[in-house]
Amino acid sequence: MPLFSRMRSERRLREALAAWHAGDYGVALDLWAPLAQAGVARAQSNMGAAFLEGRGVERDPEKAVSWLRLAAGQGDAGAERNLALCYYEGWGVAQDQAEAARWYEKAAAQDDPDAQDMLSWMKLLGGGCPQDYAGARQWAEKAAAHGRAGAMARLGDIHHNALGVPRDPVLAAEWWQRAATLGHAEAQAMLGAAYLAGKGVARDRVQALHWLERAEAGGAGELAAGFLKLARAEP
């Protein structure tokens, strides 16, 4: 693409993104559509996302997949991630966990943090790919470096349960602490339990109650319930 055309495309992409964030979905789509038709991968990816979410257009997973395939074929990481999601959920395509994992890995390799987080989870469970604790930990570490709380919580679980690594209560508590501070309810429950038992942190009933009550309020009441009962029963 000639330099002038590329600069004009980039300007229109910026204008469209600003309109999208402002809630002017129709304006954004009017700017993206001709760029997408001209083969601009980012515009194709954004058109796919619009049809997937039903913003500015009627939700149409099959059209979403068509646009996402075009963009993913050009290596657009966001399109690769969203195409993976379509395969994972069976939106616009037959559900296929293996194909989902393949596209998540492509996006993760381009440093897409959401893809890294999801790929870590799939490798931990062996969903759509062979169970791989080392791979789960490595991708979780990359996602955690981007601030993904779910990945931090998963790392806490990995070190707590000795999944491919030696059991390390201190490191588990450190990861739970990071995730808990970001509001991850399950990590808050596990951190509270760690404080209650004195595993990886100094035993502290006040801290245990603090984190367990936050976990309960945040939606992890079932996980926190037993620990809360014990913590509240102490004098």
pLDDT of residue 234 exceeding 90: no
Question: pLDDT tens digit string along 51-65?
Answer: 999 999 999 999 999
C-alpha radius of gyration, the chain, whole number:
22
Cβ contact 195:172 at 8 Å: no
* Whether the predicted pLDDT of 66 surpasses 60: yes
pLDDT tens digit sequence for 97-123:
999 999 999 999 999 999 999 999 999
Q: For the segment 4-36, what is each residue's pLDDT rounded down to a tens digit?
A: 477 889 999 999 999 999 999 999 999 999 999
Judged against a pLDDT cut of 80, whether residue 69 lies above it is answered with: yes
On the question of pLDDT at 1 being above 70, the answer is: no
| Separation of alpha carbons 139 and 104, rounded Å | 11
pTM, whole model, 2 decimals?
0.92
3-state secondary structure labels for all residues of the chain: CCHHHHHHHHHHHHHHHHHHHCCCHHHHHHHHHHHHHCCCHHHHHHHHHHHHHCCCCCCCHHHHHHHHHHHHHCCCHHHHHHHHHHHHHCCCCCCCHHHHHHHHHHHHHCCCHHHHHHHHHHHHHCCCCCCCHHHHHHHHHHHHHCCCHHHHHHHHHHHHCCCCCCCCHHHHHHHHHHHHHCCCHHHHHHHHHHHHHCCCCCCCHHHHHHHHHHHHHCCCHHHHHHHHHHHHHCC
C-alpha span between 65 and 45 (Å, rounded): 10
Q: Amino acid identity of 152?
A: M
Check residue 3 and give its pLDDT.
47
By C-alpha distance, which of 72, 65, 128 is closest to 100?
A: 128
pLDDT tens digits, 123-170: 999 999 999 999 999 999 999 999 999 999 999 999 999 999 999 999
What structural domains and CATH numbers belong to the chain?
A: 1-135 (1.25.40.10), 147-235 (1.25.40.10)
pLDDT reported for residue 6: 77
